[in-house]
Structure 1
Amino acid sequence: MKKLISILLISSFLISSTEFYQILKVPFLLEHFKEHKSLNEGTTFWSFLSMHYSNNDIKYADYDKDMRLPFKSSEGSLHLLSISFIHYSSTTKLHKPFAKTLKTYKVFNDHKFQSTYLSNIWQPPKSC
Protein backbone atom coordinates (compact mmCIF):
# COMPACT_ATOMS: atom_id res chain seq x y z
CA MET A 1 0.00 0.00 0.00
CA LYS A 2 2.86 2.36 0.86
CA LYS A 3 4.50 1.63 -2.47
CA LEU A 4 1.32 2.48 -4.37
CA ILE A 5 0.86 5.74 -2.46
CA SER A 6 4.50 6.64 -3.07
CA ILE A 7 4.17 6.01 -6.78
CA LEU A 8 0.99 8.10 -6.96
CA LEU A 9 2.55 11.00 -5.07
CA ILE A 10 5.73 10.99 -7.16
CA SER A 11 3.69 10.72 -10.36
CA SER A 12 1.42 13.60 -9.42
CA PHE A 13 4.44 15.73 -8.53
CA LEU A 14 6.24 14.96 -11.79
CA ILE A 15 3.18 15.54 -13.92
CA SER A 16 2.20 18.78 -12.22
CA SER A 17 5.55 20.49 -11.78
CA THR A 18 7.77 19.29 -14.62
CA GLU A 19 7.53 18.64 -18.34
CA PHE A 20 6.77 15.00 -17.56
CA TYR A 21 3.11 15.69 -18.34
CA GLN A 22 4.11 15.65 -22.01
CA ILE A 23 4.35 11.85 -21.75
CA LEU A 24 0.57 11.83 -21.39
CA LYS A 25 0.37 13.08 -24.99
CA VAL A 26 2.07 9.98 -26.47
CA PRO A 27 -1.27 8.35 -27.47
CA PHE A 28 -2.07 11.45 -29.52
CA LEU A 29 1.36 11.13 -31.18
CA LEU A 30 0.59 7.56 -32.23
CA GLU A 31 -2.87 8.53 -33.48
CA HIS A 32 -1.43 11.40 -35.52
CA PHE A 33 1.20 9.03 -36.97
CA LYS A 34 -1.59 6.66 -38.08
CA GLU A 35 -3.30 9.59 -39.85
CA HIS A 36 -0.10 10.39 -41.74
CA LYS A 37 0.43 6.70 -42.51
CA SER A 38 -3.08 6.43 -43.99
CA LEU A 39 -2.40 9.43 -46.23
CA ASN A 40 1.01 8.16 -47.37
CA GLU A 41 1.92 4.48 -47.04
CA GLY A 42 5.65 5.24 -47.35
CA THR A 43 5.73 7.28 -44.15
CA THR A 44 7.94 5.73 -41.52
CA PHE A 45 7.88 6.65 -37.86
CA TRP A 46 11.32 8.23 -38.18
CA SER A 47 10.26 10.38 -41.16
CA PHE A 48 7.13 11.37 -39.21
CA LEU A 49 9.25 12.47 -36.24
CA SER A 50 11.73 14.35 -38.42
CA MET A 51 8.88 16.09 -40.24
CA HIS A 52 7.30 17.27 -36.99
CA TYR A 53 10.31 17.81 -34.73
CA SER A 54 13.05 19.06 -37.04
CA ASN A 55 13.87 22.75 -37.14
CA ASN A 56 11.77 23.23 -40.26
CA ASP A 57 9.03 25.46 -38.95
CA ILE A 58 6.72 24.81 -41.87
CA LYS A 59 3.06 25.27 -41.09
CA TYR A 60 1.11 22.45 -42.66
CA ALA A 61 -2.68 22.26 -42.92
CA ASP A 62 -2.81 20.28 -39.66
CA TYR A 63 -0.69 22.78 -37.72
CA ASP A 64 -3.11 22.82 -34.76
CA LYS A 65 -2.83 19.04 -34.41
CA ASP A 66 0.95 19.25 -34.76
CA MET A 67 1.21 21.66 -31.87
CA ARG A 68 -0.63 19.20 -29.58
CA LEU A 69 2.13 16.61 -30.01
CA PRO A 70 4.34 15.88 -27.00
CA PHE A 71 7.30 18.21 -26.49
CA LYS A 72 6.19 20.33 -29.42
CA SER A 73 5.06 23.29 -27.36
CA SER A 74 5.50 24.31 -23.79
CA GLU A 75 2.22 25.04 -22.13
CA GLY A 76 3.87 26.45 -19.05
CA SER A 77 2.85 23.94 -16.45
CA LEU A 78 5.78 24.99 -14.33
CA HIS A 79 4.74 28.06 -12.41
CA LEU A 80 6.96 29.60 -9.85
CA LEU A 81 5.11 31.52 -7.24
CA SER A 82 6.89 33.74 -4.82
CA ILE A 83 4.95 35.54 -2.16
CA SER A 84 6.56 37.78 0.36
CA PHE A 85 4.92 39.52 3.24
CA ILE A 86 6.25 42.70 4.76
CA HIS A 87 4.99 43.62 8.15
CA TYR A 88 4.75 47.30 8.89
CA SER A 89 3.93 48.19 12.40
CA SER A 90 1.91 51.27 13.15
CA THR A 91 5.01 52.98 14.53
CA THR A 92 6.95 52.61 11.29
CA LYS A 93 7.29 55.93 9.53
CA LEU A 94 7.73 55.44 5.82
CA HIS A 95 8.14 59.09 4.91
CA LYS A 96 11.48 59.57 6.70
CA PRO A 97 14.61 58.68 4.78
CA PHE A 98 16.68 55.88 6.16
CA ALA A 99 20.25 56.88 6.92
CA LYS A 100 22.86 54.48 8.16
CA THR A 101 25.98 55.65 9.87
CA LEU A 102 29.13 53.74 9.17
CA LYS A 103 31.33 52.74 12.06
CA THR A 104 35.06 52.48 11.76
CA TYR A 105 37.03 49.75 13.43
CA LYS A 106 40.70 49.57 14.24
CA VAL A 107 42.56 46.59 12.91
CA PHE A 108 45.61 45.44 14.83
CA ASN A 109 48.21 43.65 12.79
CA ASP A 110 50.45 42.08 15.37
CA HIS A 111 53.01 39.96 13.55
CA LYS A 112 54.84 39.07 16.72
CA PHE A 113 52.40 36.26 17.52
CA GLN A 114 54.09 32.88 17.45
CA SER A 115 52.47 29.61 18.24
CA THR A 116 54.51 26.75 19.58
CA TYR A 117 51.60 24.52 18.72
CA LEU A 118 51.95 25.26 15.02
CA SER A 119 55.68 24.71 15.03
CA ASN A 120 55.14 21.18 16.30
CA ILE A 121 52.53 20.25 13.71
CA TRP A 122 54.91 18.21 11.58
CA GLN A 123 56.20 16.09 14.41
CA PRO A 124 55.46 12.35 14.40
CA PRO A 125 52.69 11.16 16.71
CA LYS A 126 53.67 10.35 20.24
CA SER A 127 52.27 7.47 22.18
CA CYS A 128 50.35 8.16 25.37
Structure 2
Amino acid sequence: MKKLISIFITFILLIFSTELQELIKLPLLFQHYFEHKAINKDITFATYLFDHYNSIPHTDDDQDRDNQLPFKSVDQKSVLTSPAIPTFNRFVIKSLPTITINRPSTYKEDDIPPAFLGSIWQPPKYLI
Protein backbone atom coordinates (compact mmCIF):
# COMPACT_ATOMS: atom_id res chain seq x y z
CA MET A 1 0.00 0.00 0.00
CA LYS A 2 2.86 2.38 0.84
CA LYS A 3 4.50 1.59 -2.47
CA LEU A 4 1.31 2.39 -4.37
CA ILE A 5 0.88 5.69 -2.53
CA SER A 6 4.51 6.68 -3.16
CA ILE A 7 4.18 5.85 -6.87
CA PHE A 8 1.00 7.92 -7.06
CA ILE A 9 2.60 10.92 -5.32
CA THR A 10 5.68 10.66 -7.55
CA PHE A 11 3.46 10.54 -10.63
CA ILE A 12 1.52 13.63 -9.53
CA LEU A 13 4.72 15.54 -8.74
CA LEU A 14 6.23 14.60 -12.11
CA ILE A 15 3.17 15.75 -13.99
CA PHE A 16 2.80 19.09 -12.25
CA SER A 17 6.44 20.00 -11.68
CA THR A 18 7.77 19.14 -15.13
CA GLU A 19 6.58 19.55 -18.69
CA LEU A 20 4.66 16.27 -18.49
CA GLN A 21 1.62 18.40 -17.68
CA GLU A 22 1.54 19.25 -21.37
CA LEU A 23 0.53 15.66 -22.09
CA ILE A 24 -2.76 16.39 -20.38
CA LYS A 25 -3.50 18.73 -23.31
CA LEU A 26 -3.22 15.96 -25.92
CA PRO A 27 -7.01 15.66 -26.37
CA LEU A 28 -7.04 19.35 -27.35
CA LEU A 29 -4.48 18.59 -30.06
CA PHE A 30 -6.71 15.97 -31.66
CA GLN A 31 -9.88 18.00 -31.17
CA HIS A 32 -8.29 20.99 -32.91
CA TYR A 33 -7.07 18.69 -35.70
CA PHE A 34 -10.62 17.49 -36.32
CA GLU A 35 -11.79 21.13 -36.43
CA HIS A 36 -9.23 21.79 -39.18
CA LYS A 37 -10.19 18.50 -40.86
CA ALA A 38 -13.83 19.70 -41.04
CA ILE A 39 -12.69 22.88 -42.80
CA ASN A 40 -10.15 21.22 -45.13
CA LYS A 41 -10.76 17.56 -46.01
CA ASP A 42 -7.31 17.15 -47.61
CA ILE A 43 -5.24 18.05 -44.52
CA THR A 44 -3.21 15.25 -42.97
CA PHE A 45 -2.15 15.03 -39.34
CA ALA A 46 1.50 15.57 -40.30
CA THR A 47 0.59 18.72 -42.24
CA TYR A 48 -1.50 19.93 -39.32
CA LEU A 49 1.40 19.42 -36.91
CA PHE A 50 3.82 21.13 -39.28
CA ASP A 51 1.49 24.12 -39.69
CA HIS A 52 0.99 24.54 -35.95
CA TYR A 53 4.48 23.76 -34.60
CA ASN A 54 6.93 25.21 -37.12
CA SER A 55 8.57 28.60 -36.66
CA ILE A 56 6.50 30.25 -39.40
CA PRO A 57 3.42 31.96 -37.89
CA HIS A 58 0.15 30.14 -38.46
CA THR A 59 -2.26 32.24 -40.56
CA ASP A 60 -5.75 31.12 -39.52
CA ASP A 61 -7.81 33.22 -37.12
CA ASP A 62 -7.67 30.95 -34.06
CA GLN A 63 -4.49 32.09 -32.32
CA ASP A 64 -6.04 31.76 -28.86
CA ARG A 65 -7.09 28.19 -29.64
CA ASP A 66 -3.64 27.40 -31.06
CA ASN A 67 -1.94 28.60 -27.87
CA GLN A 68 -3.92 26.01 -25.89
CA LEU A 69 -2.19 23.17 -27.75
CA PRO A 70 0.49 21.13 -25.95
CA PHE A 71 4.00 22.61 -25.93
CA LYS A 72 2.82 25.88 -27.49
CA SER A 73 2.95 28.11 -24.42
CA VAL A 74 4.56 27.99 -21.03
CA ASP A 75 2.18 28.03 -18.09
CA GLN A 76 4.21 29.14 -15.07
CA LYS A 77 1.25 29.12 -12.68
CA SER A 78 1.05 25.36 -12.38
CA VAL A 79 4.76 24.63 -11.96
CA LEU A 80 5.64 23.51 -8.46
CA THR A 81 8.89 24.78 -7.07
CA SER A 82 10.85 23.80 -4.04
CA PRO A 83 10.97 26.35 -1.23
CA ALA A 84 14.69 25.68 -0.97
CA ILE A 85 15.31 26.99 -4.48
CA PRO A 86 14.58 30.66 -5.14
CA THR A 87 12.19 31.30 -8.00
CA PHE A 88 14.32 34.04 -9.54
CA ASN A 89 17.51 33.42 -11.44
CA ARG A 90 19.36 36.68 -11.12
CA PHE A 91 23.05 36.06 -10.76
CA VAL A 92 25.58 38.85 -10.72
CA ILE A 93 29.06 37.80 -11.67
CA LYS A 94 31.70 40.26 -10.68
CA SER A 95 35.24 39.92 -11.81
CA LEU A 96 37.80 40.04 -9.08
CA PRO A 97 40.82 42.24 -9.54
CA THR A 98 43.91 40.29 -10.44
CA ILE A 99 46.80 40.71 -8.10
CA THR A 100 50.21 40.05 -9.52
CA ILE A 101 53.25 39.95 -7.35
CA ASN A 102 56.52 40.39 -9.14
CA ARG A 103 59.12 38.58 -7.12
CA PRO A 104 62.65 38.49 -8.32
CA SER A 105 63.67 35.04 -9.35
CA THR A 106 66.50 33.76 -7.29
CA TYR A 107 68.82 30.98 -8.26
CA LYS A 108 70.22 28.81 -5.57
CA GLU A 109 72.60 25.90 -5.83
CA ASP A 110 70.24 23.88 -3.65
CA ASP A 111 67.57 23.97 -6.40
CA ILE A 112 69.62 21.81 -8.75
CA PRO A 113 68.54 18.17 -8.41
CA PRO A 114 71.21 15.59 -7.90
CA ALA A 115 72.38 13.76 -10.99
CA PHE A 116 71.31 10.33 -9.74
CA LEU A 117 67.63 11.41 -9.73
CA GLY A 118 67.84 12.18 -13.44
CA SER A 119 68.53 8.53 -14.22
CA ILE A 120 65.12 7.50 -12.84
CA TRP A 121 63.22 9.35 -15.55
CA GLN A 122 64.66 7.53 -18.55
CA PRO A 123 62.61 5.61 -21.12
CA PRO A 124 62.70 1.83 -20.79
CA LYS A 125 65.57 0.17 -22.54
CA TYR A 126 65.21 -2.81 -24.88
CA LEU A 127 66.99 -5.84 -23.53
CA ILE A 128 68.54 -8.29 -25.96
* TM-score w.r.t. length of structure 1: 0.58
In the other structure, the counterpart of 1:21 is 21
* CA–CA distance in structure 2, aligned partners of residues 45 and 7 of structure 1: 34
Aligned ranges 1:30-45 → 2 under 5 Å? 30-45=30-45
| Structure 1: tracts of 5 or more residues without a match | 84-110, 112-128
Instruction: Give identity over the alignment, percent.
Output: 40
How many residue pairs end up in the alignment? Answer: 84
Return structure 1 stretches of 4+ with deviation > 6 angstroms.
none
Distance 2:69 2:50 in 1: 13
Q: In the alignment, residue 13 of structure 2 is paired with which amino acid?
A: F
Within 1, Cα distance between the matches of 2:34 and 2:5? 36
Q: How does 1:1-128 map to 2 (within 5 A)?
A: 1-76=1-76, 77-78=78-79, 80=81, 81=83, 82=86
Whole-Å Cα distance in 2 between the matches of residues 22 and 56 of structure 1? Answer: 22
Separation in 2, partners of 1:58, 1:37: 16
Contact 2:25 2:70 in 1 (8 A): yes
The structural deviation recorded for 1:79 is 5.3
Larger deviation: 52-61 or 2-11? 2-11
Distance 1:41 1:58 in 2: 18
